Amino acid sequence: MEGEIIHESTLYAEPIAHFGSFTVTNALFTSTIVVFIIVIIAIVVKLSIKKIPRGIQNLFEIIIEGAEDLCDQVTGDRKITNKAFPIVFAIFMFVILNNWIGILPLGGLGLVELTEHGRAWIPIIRSGTADINGTLPLAIMSVIGANIFGIISIGIWKTINKYINLNALGSIFTKVRKDPSILMTAPIMFAVGVLELVGEFAKVASLSFRLFGNVFAGEVLLASMGAILVYVLPTPFLLLEVLVGVIQAFIFAILTLVYYTISSMDHDEDHDAKHEHGDEEVKLSGAH
């Protein structure tokens, strides 16, 4: 029909502005809003800090203390929690606000542009997590950040050896006389390290596509229900998507914390401790 405005959900974020060769998409615009909201919240909380907490400071202290206790259950060490928590909590806030802002019923807030198929309505607000270009950098940042955290915690050499296990190959020449079985175990340990490296790329894919798929599917679902019966039918689904937004932000943040915790562990020390403990058991059994 002539004059009809078309609105279709797309996998890609739609452009809403251009500054020279730089294109601003609705997902990027929403993510920028979220960053400003987080900055404003941080400034307000910082300025309201007092020795005797009350009001917003008291609320945030309760939230942060509860979040840190939850993180302790993952890390098992408050020192690791204190180091990783600021990044993990910031990621949680960024994801959950993006998820929620993207499903706000903002009515006709959008632009109408001419396309090959006619006039198309482009929403100005679209969740940054409903765009793979938003979730992929976030996942890459989480995985790379975890490895940097590992380098800071246990050193660059031990971190590299998790993926390219040069110690395992070197042990063939140093331990083969005492333990000939090292000829079999060392190559296996080296191959496991290579698999760990492949697993890092799998982490990026898992984090990014899970978050993108769930959030994008929720927005499409709400749009579909709204097309059938406006205001009434989408309401229960809107409440469900609010809950899904919390769950997806929680999963992303907890997985990031798990990666940080694993990266900070020194597996060589654990292996040596177990080996020494085994030798002691052999000596004790021989004495008896």
Region of poorest pLDDT, from 67-71, 230-234, 240-244: 230-234
pLDDT band at 202 (very low <50, low <70, confident <90, very high): very high
Q: Determine the pLDDT at residue 235.
A: 75
In one letter, which amino acid is 140? I
Q: Determine the pLDDT at residue 141.
A: 94
Q: Determine the pLDDT at residue 125.
A: 84
**Arithmetic mean of pLDDT, 271-287:** 44
Answer yes or no: is pLDDT of 230 > 70.
Answer: no
For helices 132-154 and 26-47, angle between their N-to-C axes, nearest 10 degrees: 50
Q: Determine the pLDDT at residue 275.
A: 47
**Cβ-count burial 214-243 (b if 16+ within 10 Å, e if not):** bbbebbebbeebbeeeeeeebeebbeebee
Contacts 24+ apart (CB under 8 A), 193-197: 193/161, 193/162, 193/163, 193/164, 193/165, 193/168, 194/163, 194/164, 196/162, 196/163, 197/163, 197/164
**Arithmetic mean of pLDDT, 85-102:** 92
Q: Determine the pLDDT at residue 269.
A: 55
**Arithmetic mean of pLDDT, 15-36:** 88
Give residue limits of the domains in the chain.
Answer: 5-287
pLDDT band at 109 (very low <50, low <70, confident <90, very high): low
**Arithmetic mean of pLDDT, 244-267:** 91
Region of poorest pLDDT, from 43-47, 140-144, 283-287: 283-287
Contact 99, 129 (CB under 8 A): yes
3-state DSSP of the chain? CCCCEECCCCCCCCEEEEECCEEEEHHHHHHHHHHHHHHHHHHHHHHCCCCCCCCHHHHHHHHHHHHHHHHHHHHCCHHHHHHHHHHHHHHHHHHHHHHHHCCCCCCCCEEEEEECCEEEEEECCCCHHHCHHHHHHHHHHHHHHHHHHHHHHHCHHHHHHCCCCHHHHHHHHHHCCCCCCHHHHHHHHHHHHHHHHHHHHHHHHHHHHHHHHHHHHHHHHHHHHHHHCCCCCHHHHHHHHHHHHHHHHHHHHHHHHHHHHHHCCCHHHHHHHHHHHHHHHHHHHHHC
Answer yes or no: is pLDDT of 87 > 50.
Answer: yes
**Arithmetic mean of pLDDT, 210-237:** 79
Q: Determine the pLDDT at residue 151.
A: 92
Selected residue with higher pLDDT from 221 and 261: 261
* Residue labelled with tokens 């730089």: 22
Q: Determine the pLDDT at residue 40.
A: 93
In one letter, which amino acid is 37? I
**Arithmetic mean of pLDDT, 118-135:** 82
**Arithmetic mean of pLDDT, 40-67:** 84
Region of poorest pLDDT, from 113-122, 239-248, 251-260: 113-122
Contact 188, 165 (CB under 8 A): no
Answer yes or no: is pLDDT of 165 > 60.
Answer: yes
Answer yes or no: is pLDDT of 277 > 50.
Answer: no
pLDDT band at 282 (very low <50, low <70, confident <90, very high): very low
User: Checking phi first, is residue 17 left (phi over 0); if not, alpha (psi -120 to 50) or beta?
Assistant: beta
